[in-house]
Structure 1
Amino acid sequence: MEHKFLKHIVFIALVGLTNFSGFAQSNRPNVLFIAVDDLRSELGHFENSTILTPNLDKLASEGVSFTNHFVQVPTCGASRAAFLTGKRPSRQAQLGNNIMQDEFHQTPESETPETFIHHLKRNGYHTVGIGKISHSADGYVYGYEEEVSSQRELPYSWDELLFDHGKWGTGWNAFFAYADGENRQSMQKQVKPYEAGDVDDLGYPDGLTTQLAIKKLRELKNSSQPFFLGVGLFKPHLPFTAPQKYWDLYVEDQIPLAKNPTVPQNVARQSLLESGEFNGYQLGEEKAGLDHQLSDAYAKKIKHAYYAAASYSDAQIGLILDELEALELDQNTIVIVWGDHGWHLGEQQIWGKHTLFENALNSALIFKIPGSKVSKIDNSIVESVDIYPTIMELLGVKNPTDLDGESFASLLKSKEAQAGNIAYSYYHNGISMRTDRYRLTKYFRGAEPTIELYDHNTDPLESVNIAGENPKIVAELMPLLEEGNTGLYEKK
């Protein structure tokens, strides 16, 4: 979100860009959208990174990769709901994983589209979903240990909704899959949080999803309609499972530990996370917690596992992009890769998401526009809610009138970054605001301190809350933070 004094300038700059990429109305580009679960903003093409993502690096070299993309909520379902609707959470229910499962499929179709995908469908796009795009692993409403239902989580968005459960039988079983066909539920959590499988790429569900996507691209090649193809990959979400060959890409001893492995100074315990999801994999050799750190050896093993899982997803993305190019669809297809939130890999003594710190809120975002000459790593601050209006502007489709996000299409044609933007995020009874320099977080709770301030010029790791000794900075920033209070909390 931009400062108010920038809004008028940005609006003028964007006038006339409705057909921004030069696409004729009769030849609207397709959209290939790839959602990657728990893919934090650590990619091979970023400075000082040790993770290996060669296919995402290649995509970034042909487009725009954002280092400062922030999600609205650091949990899967709520983050995806905000992204899909272009709306910030305004009710407590919208901070929960089950917001779409509980509400979307029960809401009658109305003039307001349920998602931007629904809006594209209404505007002539053939929409296909494969894998986890909304919160459900396969797009249908049912519990982790229940039979697959016929009720779609997004009943109006998809022309086609596809998934290959493989030997795991259901989408949720596949989501928590191990190579032998078991899953976290079937093993009653008596599993490790990682696995190096003696299998090829098809030995885990994301390989099956990739093959479905390739098959569907071949079919869509001959479609008379433009298409939106959404592909949702599970890894690197827990459990961190991947074929052995992706583990073999790394030397575990050489994987660096978190640079800020201790609890931040001057914060309440309620701002942090006990790593419960991670510890729920009950055969893990060590448990994480705020009263102790994992051993260096085990911390490196878990980071190794996450990296291997991310490299596995990167390889699947490469296969899909190779097929897009082989079919010559890349010449008229916008490609977007999005991580639904970040993940703490030992930073702040946390292993997981569900915080209002940078590591949980900052996730991967790459756009590639066919025919564009712009290639850059962009440090402009953008938000997940901005993606909806950006896509619409690129495609020449009119936005609904009530979106909270603002298009950043101009950044995709400019070689420059844009200063002055703001990102808002919500969780733990708090609102966090990220500016170019600061993160300011306000919690609506009893436990003190309720205000946290981090200066990213001097403390990019968010190690020390400096709100107490900087009341003037807090006072200057607080009105901007309050603008992000969409009704979740009573304003004081």
Structure 2
Amino acid sequence: MAYRFLKHTFLIASLGLIIIPSFAQVNRPNVLFIAVDDLRSELGHFENSSIITPNLDKLAAEGVSFTKHFVQVPTCGASRAAFLTGKRPSRTAELGNNIMQDEFSKKPEGEIPETFVHHLRRNGYYTIGLGKISHSADGFVYGYEEEVSDKKELPYSWDEFLFDAGKWGTGWNAFFGYADGENRQSMKKQVKPYEAGDVDDLGYPDGLTAQLAIKKLRELKDSSQPFFLGVGFFKPHLPFTAPKKYWDLYDEERLPLAKNPTIPKNVPRQSLLESGEFNGYQLGEEKAGLDRKLSDEYAHKIKHAYYAAASYSDAQIGLILDELKALELDQNTIVIVWGDHGWHLGEQQIWGKHTLFENALNSALIFKIPGSKVSKIDNSIVESVDIYPTLMELVGVEKPNNLDGESFASLLNSKNSQKGNVAYSYYHNGISMRTDRYRLTKYFREAEPTIELYDHQTDPLESINIAAENPELVANLMPILEEGNTGLYDKK
């Protein structure tokens, strides 16, 4: 089997990254990028799916939807940092949600762009951000219960950054908001992890974000400068809140529950998750954990809530895409929809995201290229760090030399998939590698076993760790996994 070995190049002083080409002779495409928080790789156009996402399905029918897109880190801030920089984490600080607010926001502008958005801006793009693109809910650095600051999380990436906090007042209040204007912080966590609000789409923050994006597209219609518009939606991140009409799309009792609702065999607790974020919504009727499962009734309720929240975001995306088409901007605009990581909906007895299992690492990714005749659901393995070089190739901007990702632009113009790719992810003192058939994970810890192997041909649910009985296979795969060790862990 031919695998792709990703090389980890180092920063060199001779990178020519601030050369601005002449745009008088170049008609570069615009870019509409949409980030959806916690949107796992479960969409309506995928086989055996019960979720309702008609707008994403329509977009996929006009482009390429990836079933095997994997993030680098299964937590919001770190995943977005890797995606925005095209770099794998190489320090423990890069595994945390605060990497951008703690470091990016404080650095002086240097030769290396802080993000691919910054790189586009240096190369003639007008860049606008709305909502959660980096980790901050509104682009500024401040704590969940603090006043909004004027300190930008990404100081050099944006020409404009906008957010409408509505009745919630601040970005973080809106992020954790409920229909009455309260939020998780104001209610001291005495809230449920879900809500079916008796409101219209503007009754929750993502509806306001969609309207802001539509307004901005109208302003950009006649611009002679290519634009990058980034739009970040909150849902289906906890709390799973959405207008009641999206809940009404589903028959709760008929929703399928997880096919692997128990702890995998031959796996220690240290590889799993106690679902602490989910349990932090303290008025939830039941608590999840490795020592107790949710009842089927409550599991149905929470899955219903997640699906409703995802359908709500799908509807907002549809409004933006409809406006893009009405303005005829779709004829020269690349559209990308990206989920920042997955989420366990009861799989492996987990309700959350912070693991190195497939459900946490596999998220939605759709590309639509103007003028392309290719429409497919693609099973090639791609990674979030690959999006940076892919986008640069598509818009004709030379990429920096220090990226870890590799362009998959050729897949967007081909009806075929590509075998042999590898995806690397990092968390819990571990590295996980996904090949076409296997997931191999190595943990740097005392708790045994430290090696986990799952065969997706015979066990796509990752329910049995078969590393111990397959030492030769592990030995053959381990050198490929070590290619993904960026220095984050001791290689001994």
**Distance between the aligned counterparts of 1:455 and 1:91, measured in 2?**
29
Q: In structure 2, the residue corresponding to 1:83 is in which secondary structure?
A: helix
Q: Within 5 Å, which residues of 2 pair with 1:416-427?
A: 416-427=416-427
The alignment status of 1:34 with 2:34, answered yes or no, reads yes
Alpha-carbon distance change, 396 to 24 in structure 1, aligned in 2, over 3 angstroms: farther
Q: Within 5 Å, which residues of 2 pair with 1:366-377?
A: 366-377=366-377
**Distance between the aligned counterparts of 1:157 and 1:5, measured in 2?**
30
Partner of 1:147: 147
Alpha-carbon distance change, 112 to 464 in structure 1, aligned in 2, over 3 angstroms: same
Partner of 1:491: 491
Q: CA deviation at 1:6?
A: 10
Deviations 1:237-282 (A, max 9, x none): 0000000000000000000000000000000100000000000000
Q: CA RMSD in A?
A: 1.2
Runs of 4+ residues over 6 Å off in structure 1: none
Q: Within 5 Å, which residues of 2 pair with 1:236-275?
A: 236-275=236-275
Partner of 1:235: 235
Letter of the structure 2 residue corresponding to residue 491 of structure 1: K
Deviations 1:381-411 (A, max 9, x none): 0000000000000000000010000000000
- Residue correspondences, number: 476
Q: CA deviation at 1:224?
A: 1.3
Partner of 1:328: 328
Q: In structure 2, the residue corresponding to 1:421 is in which secondary structure?
A: coil
Partner of 1:345: 345
Deviations 1:111-160 (A, max 9, x none): 10000000000000000000000000001000000000001100000000
Partner of 1:88: 88
**Distance between the aligned counterparts of 2:224 and 2:182, measured in 1?**
41
Q: Within 5 Å, which residues of 2 pair with 1:12-161?
A: 26-161=26-161
Letter of the structure 1 residue corresponding to residue 286 of structure 2: E
**Distance between the aligned counterparts of 2:424 and 2:270, measured in 1?**
19
**Distance between the aligned counterparts of 1:409 and 1:370, measured in 2?**
13
**Distance between the aligned counterparts of 2:220 and 2:322, measured in 1?**
15
**Distance between the aligned counterparts of 2:205 and 2:261, measured in 1?**
32
TM-score, structure 1 as length reference: 0.96
**Distance between the aligned counterparts of 1:392 and 1:87, measured in 2?**
15
Q: CA deviation at 1:3?
A: 2.6
Q: CA deviation at 1:4?
A: 4.7
**Distance between the aligned counterparts of 2:138 and 2:25, measured in 1?**
32
Partner of 2:215: 215
Unaligned runs of 5+ in 1: 8-22
Partner of 1:200: 200
Letter of the structure 1 residue corresponding to residue 381 of structure 2: I
Partner of 1:168: 168
Unaligned runs of 5+ in 2: 8-22
TM-score, structure 2 as length reference: 0.96
**Distance between the aligned counterparts of 1:416 and 1:321, measured in 2?**
26
Alpha-carbon distance change, 24 to 388 in structure 1, aligned in 2, over 3 angstroms: farther
Percent identity of equivalent pairs: 87
**Distance between the aligned counterparts of 2:86 and 2:232, measured in 1?**
19
**Distance between the aligned counterparts of 1:267 and 1:46, measured in 2?**
29
Q: In structure 2, the residue corresponding to 1:380 is in which secondary structure?
A: strand
Q: In structure 1, the residue corresponding to 2:379 is in which secondary structure?
A: strand
Q: In structure 1, the residue corresponding to 2:263 is in which secondary structure?
A: coil
Deviations 1:285-335 (A, max 9, x none): 000000111000000000000000000000000000000000000000000
**Distance between the aligned counterparts of 1:379 and 1:248, measured in 2?**
32
